[in-house]
């Protein structure tokens, strides 16, 4: 344990998070959130998505501004490459979720972070989505996340941070475990 | 309202203890010492769950020298051994006789309600009125079945660990065991040895070597104070109360039971069972992380032991053996298992137990159905509970953990009966 009280600042308001955890333990209905995005087709494989509103704490909430995302396929797919591919957005989601977790847990454990870089690689066999081989799945065969963490902590403490971040990560759960997905159309 | 089966006038007593297992008897001993008039009501026989609801090969996880109850310890010739179920039953039976506990067997409690500043306890053999009540009916009454269990194809044999006795009970063919606690690993080991191929589905788990630096791991946990850690000293009580039992087995050769050993014997280790879709079991892809978490946690425990050893003049560490190696996870652990191919014949749910409070008509349960209590002092005047995981101390759910809990809670109970109820038990001990 620490011999003295370190002042650690990773920019995470841990007391607010702990207070929120306690409040939501008492009021589980306020913990019911819904995240939303809308996506408009532009042309070809190019689409334009926006994220602005979500629901939580019993009412509609709004981001500070509307965030916009272009998705497309690269030129090797004979597309215009107007944005990252959807599968790359999944990698972005995974890496940013785990990274946010590392910062939060480090703050909670009184560990000062100096730098954190996550490199994510997802291996995909295109024979799946192209329908060439029905034994090959559409999605990633596997994903590797490599964390490079510089922190005032031992190797074991850093490994524990990264492991705990996976344990608490929403996107890690979404990617590693099945989720029921319903897709509907208008009349 | 209950119709009285045993009829007759209600009997009055200061304290009713529900359950004559090790916890109820430990409490009975402490109440007798404090001259509290009480009765112990037991639905079956003394040590009923140990007699009827455990598998044949089960032995205690704690060594014999550690297996003790207030005023009663192990006196056999094998202090480093581990009691089999017949030995546990005999130990608890002899305890009940030795302390002359006022046990009424074959009496099932059907309802407990508040009555006149105390409680009315309806049973299959009449009614009791008491001022205080001790719930010692155990933490392992009902098997917990995950929601996904309902989706298992109906032609497979689906068993809880309460129903499992031995491998011969199972059809030939593959077995999927769900759960990575001591139970899940012990069953995986013996069922795989019986010639039935085993897939073991593992979520978060607790890994420990049986021995470290020449001593049993429980000896160390006592020494370094981990077993005595109190419920009001931990950060996240809800979390520690939900931690599964450590992956251990009590055998004469004191071997370590872990995922590496099982996997090298041919058990297929897969991630947590998440869904069954189109007769196909789907396992979590997070297996390597839950193994990593368990490895890190085991090493933190061993680090604490090393620190204690060093402070007491013993240097170094002893983590060279195979029982300390990092858990090896397949590069591509199976994410799916077809349950309709005929490969798997049996599914065993080693997914834990929960207490049964269906008879308790006092508003003391939270929305998850758990008792609201502060270290065993239930959130209703004069009601106490015993034997829940990490109830007052980390060792609360072990046999040898009953003594200190019973002493603390019986002191509190006496104060309550004498009208000098103090609001916080912490001040008492």
For chain B, which residues make up each domain, given as ranges? 11-141+355-427, 143-349
Contact list in B for residue A163 (CB cut-off 8 A) is: 289, 292-293, 296
> Is a pLDDT exceeding 90 seen at residue B5?
no
- Which residue, chain included where needed, has tokens 């308001």? A13
Question: What is the 8-class DSSP label of residue B162?
Answer: T
Q: No. of H helices and E strands in chain B?
A: 9, 21
pLDDT confidence bin for A2, thresholds 50/70/90: very low
Q: Average pLDDT in the A63-73 region?
A: 97
- The pLDDT tens digits for A137-167 are 999 999 999 999 999 999 999 999 999 999 9
For residue B56, the model assigns a pLDDT of: 95
For domain B11-141+355-427, the CATH class is alpha beta
Q: How many other CB atoms are there within 10 angstroms of residue B252's CB atom?
A: 10
Q: A34 and A56 in contact (C-beta within 8 Å)?
A: yes
Q: What share of chain A is helix, strand, coil (3-state, %, to 5)?
A: 35, 30, 35
First and final C-alpha spacing in chain B? 40
Q: What are phi and psi of B87, to 5 degrees?
A: -70, -40
- B80: confidence class by pLDDT, cuts 50, 70, 90: very high
**Model pLDDT for residues A114-132, shown as the tens digit of each residue:** 999 999 999 999 999 999 9
Percent of chain B with pLDDT over 70: 96
Nearest to B284 among A156, A163, A177 (CB): A177
pLDDT at B315: 80
List residues bridging with B276 in a β-sheet: B281
With both helix axes pointing from N to C terminus, report the angle between A155-168 and B287-311 in degrees, rounded to the nearest 10.
140
Residues of chain A with pLDDT > 90: what percent?
86
Chain A closest-CA separation from residue B338 CA (Å): 15
**A45: CB partners within 8 A, 6+ apart:** A71, A72, A73, A77, A79
Q: Are B397 and B391 in contact (CB under 8 A)?
A: yes
CB-CB neighbors (< 8 A) of A142 in chain B: 332
Q: What is the pLDDT of residue A1?
A: 45
Residue with tokens 């003790």: B68
Residues pairing with A84 in the sheet: A71
- Distance, CA of B204 to chain centre: 17
Give the predicted TM-score (pTM) of the model: 0.90
Give the lowest-confidence range in B210-214, B343-347, B425-429. B425-429
Interface of A with B (CB under 8 A): 28, 142, 156, 159-160, 163-164, 166-167, 172-173, 175-178
Average pLDDT over residues A59-67: 97
B189-210 tens-digit pLDDT: 999 999 999 999 999 999 999 9
- CB-count exposure of residue B187 (10 Å: 0-12, 13-18, 19+): buried
What's residue B331's pLDDT? 84
Q: What is the pLDDT of residues B315-365, one digit of tens each?
A: 877 888 889 999 999 888 899 999 999 999 999 999 999 999 999 999 999
Evaluate whether B47 touches B88 at the Cβ level (below 8 Å): yes
User: Which of B50, B72, B52, B73 has the alpha carbon at shortest distance from B60?
Assistant: B50
The pLDDT of residue B7 is 57
What distance in Å separates the CA atoms of residue B252 and residue B254, rounded to the nearest whole number?
Answer: 5
**Residues of chain B found within 8 Å of residue A156, distances taken between Cβ atoms:** 296, 299-300
Instruction: Encode pLDDT of B33-62 as tens digits.
Output: 999 999 999 999 998 889 888 999 999 999
Q: How many CB pairs under 8 A join A and B?
A: 39
Give the pLDDT confidence score for residue B318 in this predicted structure: 84
* Mean pLDDT of the B146-172 span: 95
- Predicted confidence band of residue A4 (pLDDT cuts 50, 70, 90): low
* Residue A5 pLDDT: 63
ipTM value for the complex = 0.85
Question: What does the pLDDT read at residue B428?
Answer: 43
| pLDDT of A43 over the 60 cut | yes
**Considering only alpha carbons, which residue of chain B is nearest residue A172?**
B286
**What percent of chain A has pLDDT above 70?**
97
pLDDT in tens, B375-396: 999 999 999 999 999 999 999 9
User: Are B286 and A172 within 8 A, CB to CB?
Assistant: yes
Q: What is the pLDDT of residue A187?
A: 72
Residues of B with CB under 8 A from a CB of A: 204, 271-272, 274-275, 277, 282, 284-286, 289-290, 292-293, 296, 299-300, 332, 367
Query: Which residue from B123, B153, B151, B152 is spatially nearest to B137, judged by alpha carbons?
Result: B123
> Going from the N-terminus, what domains does chain A have, and what CATH number goes with each?
14-84 (3.30.300.20), 85-177 (3.30.300.20)
Which of A101, A143, A163 is the best substitution to test chain B (most B C-beta atoms within 10 A)?
A163
Average pLDDT over residues B123-127: 96
Give percent of chain B above pLDDT 90.
Answer: 87
Q: Which residues pair with B158 in a beta bridge?
A: B347
Instruction: Give the DSSP letter string of B110-156.
Output: EEEEEETTEEEEEETTEEEEEEEEEE-S-S-SEE---GGGGGS-TTS
A28 chain-B contacts, CB cut-off 8 A = 367
A30 contacts A58 by C-beta, under 8 angstroms: yes
């Amino acid at each position: 344990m620490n011999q003295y009280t370190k002042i650690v600042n990773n920019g995470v308001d841990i007391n607010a998070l702990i207070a929120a955890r306690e409040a939501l333990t008492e009021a589980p209905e306020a913990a019911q959130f819904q995240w939303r995005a809308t996506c408009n087709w532009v042309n070809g494989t190019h689409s334009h998505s926006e994220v602005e509103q979500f629901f939580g704490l019993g009412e509609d909430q709004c981001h500070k501004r509307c965030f916009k995302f272009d998705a497309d396929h690269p030129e090797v797919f004979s597309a215009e490459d107007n944005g990252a591919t959807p599968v790359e957005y999944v990698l972005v989601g995974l890496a940013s979720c785990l990274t946010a977790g590392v910062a939060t847990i480090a703050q909670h454990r009184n560990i000062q972070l100096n730098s954190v870089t996550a490199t994510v690689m997802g291996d995909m066999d295109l024979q799946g989505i192209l329908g060439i081989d029905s034994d090959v799945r559409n999605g990633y065969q596997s994903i590797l996340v490599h964390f490079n963490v510089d922190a005032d902590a031992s190797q074991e403490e850093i490994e524990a941070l990264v492991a705990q971040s996976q344990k608490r990560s929403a996107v890690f759960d979404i990617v590693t475990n099945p989720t029921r997905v319903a897709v509907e159309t208008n009349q | 309202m209950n119709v009285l089966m045993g009829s007759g006038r209600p009997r009055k007593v200061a304290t009713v203890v529900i359950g004559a297992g090790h916890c109820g008897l430990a409490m009975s001993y402490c109440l007798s010492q404090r001259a509290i008039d009480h009765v112990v009501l037991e639905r079956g026989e003394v040590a009923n769950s140990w007699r009827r609801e455990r598998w044949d090969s089960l032995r205690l996880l704690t060594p014999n020298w550690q297996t003790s109850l207030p005023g009663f310890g192990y006196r056999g010739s094998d202090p480093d051994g581990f009691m089999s179920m017949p030995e546990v039953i005999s130990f608890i039976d002899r305890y009940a006789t030795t302390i002359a506990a006022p046990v009424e067997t074959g009496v099932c409690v059907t309802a407990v309600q508040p009555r006149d500043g105390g409680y009315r306890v309806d049973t299959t053999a009449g009614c009791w009125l008491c001022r205080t009540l001790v719930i010692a009916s155990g933490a392992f009454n009902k098997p917990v079945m995950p929601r996904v269990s309902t989706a298992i194809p109906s032609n497979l044999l689906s068993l809880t660990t309460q129903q499992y006795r031995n491998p011969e009970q199972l059809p030939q063919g593959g077995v999927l065991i769900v759960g990575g606690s001591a139970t899940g690993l012990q069953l995986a080991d013996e069922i795989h040895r019986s010639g039935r191929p085993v897939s073991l589905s593992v979520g978060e788990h607790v890994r420990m070597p049986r021995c470290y630096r020449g001593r049993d791991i429980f000896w160390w946990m006592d020494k370094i104070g981990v077993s005595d850690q109190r419920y009001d000293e931990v950060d996240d009580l809800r979390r520690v109360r939900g931690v599964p039992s450590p992956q251990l087995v009590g055998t004469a050769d004191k071997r370590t039971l872990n995922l590496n050993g099982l996997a090298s014997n041919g058990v297929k280790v897969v991630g947590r069972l998440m869904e069954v879709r189109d007769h196909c079991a789907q396992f979590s892809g997070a297996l390597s992380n839950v193994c990593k978490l368990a490895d890190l946690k085991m090493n933190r425990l061993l680090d604490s032991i090393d620190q204690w050893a060093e402070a007491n003049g013993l240097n170094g560490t002893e983590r060279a053996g195979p029982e300390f190696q990092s858990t090896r996870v397949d590069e591509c652990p199976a994410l799916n298992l077809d349950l309709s191919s005929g490969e798997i014949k049996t599914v065993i749910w080693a997914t834990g137990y929960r207490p049964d409070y269906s008879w308790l008509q006092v508003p003391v349960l939270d929305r998850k159905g758990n008792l609201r209590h502060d270290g065993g002092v239930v959130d209703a005047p004069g009601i106490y509970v015993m034997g829940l995981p990490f109830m007052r101390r980390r060792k609360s759910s072990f046999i040898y953990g009953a003594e200190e809990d019973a002493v603390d809670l019986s002191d509190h109970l006496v104060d309550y009966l004498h009208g000098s109820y103090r609001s916080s038990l912490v001040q008492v001990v």
